[in-house]
A and B are shown apart, each in its own frame.
Chain A
Amino acid sequence: MSWMNSEEFDEFIKRMRELERKIRDYVESELERALRTFSEELRQVEDTLRPMWHHEGYLRPLYSIRDRGSYIEVFIDLPKADEKTIEVKFRENYMYIKAKLREEVVFHGVTGRSGETRFHEYREVIELPFKVDPEKVRVDARKGRVKIIIHK
């Protein structure tokens, strides 16, 4: 590099630093995207394989999330739930749902063994796409179904 003068050398290093920054940004954004995809797929696999009930006596409800732009709607199906006992709590970007059943539900052979398993409540933890401000939440329950509107 003896043919470069000091100014040219500084310019060369500056351009190399800029190139290094661009490569780092690209690698970081690609890695972040790959990790996001991986964790979404892992969540789907977990959701698919995890049973819809727990041996401690609670059921996992069906739910769906719809993005409406300025807010999201979460629908939860809670048949036989006592609507007065529905609890919705938030921590960071997680929503915790709990509701007691109006009467115990008994299933036979759900654990792969003979005998009965009794269920007395619903429990579910739902991951949301953003951190929730509980002040911006509206809960509406009808006929054992719940609609939760969460403003972004």
Chain B
Amino acid sequence: MPQHGLIQLSRVLVDYLERRGVDYVILSSGLPAQNRFELESLKTCYLATTPRAIELLKNTNATPFENGFLAGAYALLLKELSHARINTILLLTESFLEFPDPEAAAGSLEFVSRIINKPIDVKELLEQAEMIRIKARDAMRNTMRGLAQMRKDVEQAIPIYT
């Protein structure tokens, strides 16, 4: 999706959430890890828009996302949700940048399960992981092209200020 379309989409979504009077929003995305190939257990960190959102995480071992910056669809969505003062948590689980990563998606869902205190069965997702990776190749190739357009690769660069 072109960048301008993403801006409009995130505004429309947040407008809809406001009108529905949604109390909490939990977003889930990946955090590209350079050493993902070697990683067995994946860490999840978070960004929250309000103190009430942070309260939701008190029974988890989530760590805040302290360094780095966010680009793309989730950055736009988080910005709009923050402006609208909607309690939002963005979960970022270590993942591959260039490949579909169903294992990371399952890790993130398990984290959501702990936040909402309700079981989420990820068994089928993990069983289907390889087939998802095969089917998602075209979508991933297109995503990488979109990311290159947004110069998302800057995320991988050494930050000027730490």
What residues make up the interface of A, taking CB atoms closer than 8 Å to B? 47-48, 52, 59-64, 75, 77, 79-80, 105, 140, 142, 144-145, 147
- Inter-chain CA distance A142–B40, complex, in Å, is 11
Residues of B within 8 A of A47 (CB): 141
User: Can you list 23 A-B contacts (CB < 8 A)?
Assistant: A48-B141, A52-B138, A59-B137, A60-B137, A62-B98, A62-B99, A62-B137, A62-B140, A63-B98, A64-B97, A64-B99, A75-B98, A75-B99, A77-B98, A77-B100, A77-B133, A79-B129, A80-B130, A80-B131, A80-B134, A144-B130, A144-B133, A145-B37
Q: What is the minimal beta-carbon distance from B128 to any residue of chain A, in angstroms?
A: 11
Q: What is the minimal beta-carbon distance from B35 to any residue of chain A, in angstroms?
A: 10
Are B37 and A142 closer than 8 Å at their CB atoms?
yes
- Inter-chain CA distance A104–B138, complex, in Å, is 19
B 122-159 binary contact with A (CB < 8 Å = 1; else 0): 00000001110110011011000100000000000000
Enumerate the 10 nearest inter-chain pairs by beta-carbon distance, A residue then B residue, closest first. Answer: A79-B133, A79-B130, A64-B98, A77-B99, A80-B130, A52-B137, A147-B37, A79-B134, A52-B138, A62-B137
- Inter-chain CA distance A144–B141, complex, in Å, is 18
Known: A79-B130, A80-B130, A142-B37. A61 touches B98 (CB 8 A): no
- Inter-chain CA distance A29–B145, complex, in Å, is 29
**Residue of A59, A63, A64 touching B134 (CB-CB under 8 A):** A59
| Chain A contact residues, majority secondary structure | strand
Are A75 and B134 closer than 8 Å at their CB atoms?
no
Residues of B within 8 A of A59 (CB): 134, 137
Known: A62-B140, A75-B98. A105 touches B134 (CB 8 A): yes
Chain B interface bracket (under 10, 10 to 19, 20 to 34, 35 or more): 10 to 19
Knowing that A61-B137, A105-B131 are A-B contacts, what are 18 other residue pairs whose CB atoms are under 8 Å apart, sorted by A's residue number?
A: A52-B138, A59-B137, A60-B137, A62-B137, A62-B140, A63-B98, A64-B98, A75-B37, A77-B100, A77-B133, A77-B137, A79-B129, A79-B131, A79-B134, A105-B134, A144-B133, A145-B37, A145-B99
- Inter-chain CA distance A47–B142, complex, in Å, is 11
- Inter-chain CA distance A60–B131, complex, in Å, is 14
Among B88-102, those with CB < 8 Å from A are 96-100
Among B37-66, those with CB < 8 Å from A are 37
Residues of A within 8 A of B99 (CB): 62, 64, 75, 77, 145
Q: What is the minimal beta-carbon distance from B57 to any residue of chain A, in angstroms?
A: 29
CB closest residue in chain A, given B135: A107
